[in-house]
């Protein structure tokens, strides 16, 4: 059976004009309900995206129009001679290159990215991709941060955490008084740095400790650490357990991740 | 008359927009707006409102045809292209205004005979578009950005990744699939 990402890539290529309609594709469409469904769903989604973004673009041009209304752009003038050698005054229009040098450089970068995409694209998500798609550092619910000059060590540590300075956050959180909650966030900081081994060391006992208030969360992050560490079967087993636990806050997303891993 | 330099500048602009620099539309808009409004009012008999509205729609058509590849290469100047598209839009607007103008009730004609069913189709179409657009509005970020960059602005996955600071192209593909599922669920409910 064809993988979902492969089907979607085929549909995208077709709808974005990268794949010309061929009798083979039409036949495949007739034979594969999954392909036909993905095509119909993506067409509808593109219609919605088109409708919404046309409105966004229109609103942007209307805003620009308002800014221009009643305000003639100032242009520098220069004296030039026409064919009859008579002096006439014309506005100087800065060259396109001068006006848009940064944009052109960015475009070149974009084109290189595009070339890379078309040459190197591999539609199969790796475990690293799935880890990256699923990992989000757990939000700080441990310490309320206030703006003050005499911040406590906890506040300094969690400020680093919230600012995404995970290296500093991990050090500071581990240097606190060893409360399990602080260590849980230190594990998050390690995960954010893709230091799976250190994250696992911290999360393992928490995931098994039902008395720890964030044990379910620790279990989910433990599965992600295993996934990041390429321990695929262990991660799957843990995700199965999470998926089957009815009231688990991550059961839905664990089921989705399992489906993606089993494709 | 456009010089070679102007045309090569147009080509650079066209390539830059096709490569993802959609903010350059502002430059394009400012460069051709006055000339088009003048042309539409003088030559096509459009009022100011229709001329501005038609020019904006022409810019949108130019953008969409450029990024989608329908406009594969620039065989004329951007101004010529915008004027050609804009002219058709203005003709349609003029036609619509003519049909919407009040009828002389003393002539004895049955107004129902002259109803333009196209207007109803347009209203229905606008309504459908609004419903679909509402569906996208219900999507949170970064889903909306991912789908918009990929399907509307036609960014390759690599560029979506770079623009949104995501960790890998594979992660973008996984997220994109999930976002499509979410959008499908929203649209089905609507």
Q: Quick check: B24 contacting A, CB < 8 Å?
A: yes
Instruction: Report, in angstroms and rounded to the nearest whole number, the Rg of chain B calculated over CA atoms.
Output: 21
The two three-digit tokens of residue A180, written as one number = 């399990």
| Average pLDDT value for residue range B131-139 | 85
- pLDDT on residue B99: 67
A5 touches chain B (CB under 8 A): yes
B92 touches chain A (CB under 8 A): no
The tokens of B82 are what? 């915008």
Q: What is the pLDDT of residues B81-95, one digit of tens each?
A: 889 888 888 888 888
Check: CB of residue A214 under 8 Å from CB of residue A206.
yes
Closest by alpha carbon to A253, among A209, A223, A210? A223
Give the per-residue pLDDT at A152.
84
Please tell me the pTM assigned to this model: 0.58
Give pLDDT tens digits for B36-81: 999 888 888 888 888 999 999 999 989 988 888 888 777 788 888 8
Q: Would you state the structure tokens that stand for residue B181, as one six-digit string?
A: 């599922």
Interface check B125 vs A, CB under 8 A: no
Shortest distance, CA A198 to any CA of chain B (angstroms): 21
SS3 A249: coil
Assess contact for B43 and B93: CB atoms under 8 A: no
Evaluate whether B16 touches B24 at the Cβ level (below 8 Å).
Answer: yes
User: Which residue, B120, B28, B46, B142, is CA-closest to B82?
Assistant: B28
Q: How many helices (H) and strands (E) does chain B have?
A: 8, 0
**Cα–Cα distance list, A199 to A155, A178, B166 (Å):** 22, 15, 21
- The band of B16, judged by pLDDT with boundaries at 50, 70 and 90, is confident
CA distances from A255 to A103, A127, A251, A262, B182 (A): 43, 15, 6, 10, 15
Please report which residue ranges of A69-179 form alpha helices under DSSP H: 96-99, 101-120, 127-134, 153-162, 166-175
CB proximity list for A260: less than 8 A, separation 6 or greater? A125, A130, B174
Query: What's the gap between Cα A161 and its chain centre?
Result: 19
Cβ distance B153 to A111 under 8 Å? no
Indicate whether B112 pLDDT > 50.
no
Give the pLDDT confidence score for residue A77 in this predicted structure: 40
> Which of B106-120, B127-141, B144-158 shows the highest mean pLDDT?
B144-158
Q: Is the peptide bond before B50 cis (omega within 30 degrees of 0)?
A: no
Among B162, B35, B54, B70, which residue's Cα sits nearest to residue A114? B162
B178 interfaces chain A, CB cutoff of 8 Å: yes
- Residue A75: the pLDDT is 46
**pLDDT at position B119:** 52
Residue A49 has its nearest CB partner, among B52, B148, B155, at: B148
* Residue of A4, A55, A129 with shortest CB distance to B168: A129
Round to whole Å and give the CA distance between A127 and A133. 10
Q: Which residues of A touch B59 (CB under 8 A)?
A: 61
Supply the pLDDT for residue A85: 40
Distance of alpha carbon A27 from alpha carbon A210, whole angstroms:
54
What was the pLDDT predicted at A84?
Answer: 43
Asked if the C-beta of B35 comes within 8 angstroms of chain A's C-beta atoms, the answer is no
Query: Nearest by CB to B180, which of A41, A53, A132?
Result: A41
Contacts of B182 in chain A (CB under 8 A): none
Look at A103 and B21 and tell me if their CB atoms are within 8 Å.
yes
B170·A126 Cβ contact <8 A? yes
Instruction: Using a CB–CB cutoff of 8 Å, tell me whether A53 touches chain B.
Output: yes
Residue pLDDT, tens place only, B151-173: 998 888 888 888 888 888 888 88
Query: Can you tell me the ipTM of this complex?
Result: 0.80
Q: Is the pLDDT of residue B146 over 90?
A: yes
pLDDT of res. B55: 93
Q: Which residues of B touch A105 (CB under 8 A)?
A: none
Give the pLDDT confidence score for residue A187 in this predicted structure.
Answer: 94
Mean per-residue pLDDT, B1-14: 70
Contact A51 B166 (CB under 8 A): no
Ordered per-residue pLDDT tens for chain A, 263 residues: 567 888 888 888 888 888 777 788 788 888 888 888 889 989 989 988 988 888 888 999 999 888 887 665 444 444 344 444 444 444 445 555 556 666 667 777 766 665 555 455 555 667 777 887 888 888 887 777 766 667 888 888 988 888 888 899 999 999 987 788 889 999 999 999 989 999 999 999 888 888 888 888 899 999 999 999 888 889 999 999 998 887 888 888 888 888 888 87
Residue B175 in contact with partner chain A when CB distance is under 8 A = yes
Cβ distance B60 to A53 less than 8 Å, yes or no, reads: no
Cα separation of A53 and A104, whole Å?
Answer: 24
Contact yes or no for B37/B55 (Cβ under 8 A):
yes
* CB distance A131 to A224 below 8 Å: yes
Those residues with Cβ within 8 angstroms of residue A16's Cβ, 6 or more apart along the chain or in another chain: B68, B151, B154
Task: Choose among A17, A114, A123: nearest Cβ to B156.
Answer: A114
What pLDDT, on the 0 to 100 scale, is given for residue A224? 93
Q: Do B159 and A118 lie within an 8 Å CB cutoff?
A: no
Burial class (CB in 10 A: 0-12, 13-18, 19+), A180: middle
Task: Check pLDDT > 80 for residue B123.
Answer: no
Nearest by CB to B180, which of A45, A54, A99?
Answer: A45
């Amino acid at each position: 059976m064809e993988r979902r990402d492969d089907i979607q890539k085929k549909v995208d290529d077709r709808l974005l004009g990268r794949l010309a309609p061929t009798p083979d594709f039409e036949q495949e469409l007739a034979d594969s309900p999954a392909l036909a469904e993905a095509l119909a769903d993506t067409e509808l989604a593109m219609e919605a995206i088109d409708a919404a973004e046309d409105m966004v673009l229109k609103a942007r041009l209307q805003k620009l129009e308002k800014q221009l209304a009643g305000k003639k752009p100032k242009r520098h003038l220069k004296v030039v001679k026409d064919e009859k050698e008579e002096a006439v005054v014309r506005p100087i229009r800065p060259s396109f290159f001068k006006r848009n040098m940064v944009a052109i450089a960015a475009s070149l970068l974009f084109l290189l990215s595009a070339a890379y995409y078309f040459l190197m694209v591999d539609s199969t998500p790796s475990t690293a991709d799935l880890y990256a798609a699923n990992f989000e550092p757990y939000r700080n619910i441990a310490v309320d941060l206030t703006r003050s000059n005499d911040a406590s060590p906890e506040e300094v540590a969690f400020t680093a955490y919230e600012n995404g300075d995970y290296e500093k956050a991990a050090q500071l959180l581990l240097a606190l008084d060893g409360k399990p909650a602080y260590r849980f966030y230190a594990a998050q900081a390690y995960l954010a740095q893709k230091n799976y081994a250190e994250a696992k060391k911290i999360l393992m006992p928490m995931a098994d400790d039902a008395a720890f208030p964030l044990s379910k969360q620790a279990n989910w992050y433990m599965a992600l650490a295993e996934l990041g560490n390429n321990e695929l079967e262990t991660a799957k087993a843990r995700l199965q357990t999470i998926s089957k636990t009815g009231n688990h806050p991550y059961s839905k997303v664990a089921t989705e991740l399992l489906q993606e891993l089993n494709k | 008359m456009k010089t070679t330099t102007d045309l090569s500048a147009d080509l650079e602009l066209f390539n830059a927009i096709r490569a993802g620099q959609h903010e350059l539309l502002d430059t394009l808009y400012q460069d051709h707006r006055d000339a088009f409004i003048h042309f539409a009012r003088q030559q096509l008999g459009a009022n100011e409102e229709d001329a501005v509205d038609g020019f904006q729609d022409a810019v949108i058509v130019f953008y969409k045809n450029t990024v989608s590849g329908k406009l594969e290469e620039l065989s004329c100047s951007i101004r010529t292209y915008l004027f050609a598209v804009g002219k058709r839009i203005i003709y349609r607007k003029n036609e619509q205004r003519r049909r919407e103008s009040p009828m002389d009730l003393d002539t004895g004609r049955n107004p129902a005979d002259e109803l333009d069913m196209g207007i109803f189709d347009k209203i229905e179409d606008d309504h459908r578009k609004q419903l679909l657009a509402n569906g996208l509005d219900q999507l949170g970020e970064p889903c909306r950005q991912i789908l918009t960059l990929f399907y509307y602005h036609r960014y390759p996955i690599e560029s979506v990744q770079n623009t949104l600071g995501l960790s890998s192209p594979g992660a973008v593909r996984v997220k994109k699939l999930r976002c499509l599922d979410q959008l499908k669920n929203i649209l089905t409910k609507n």
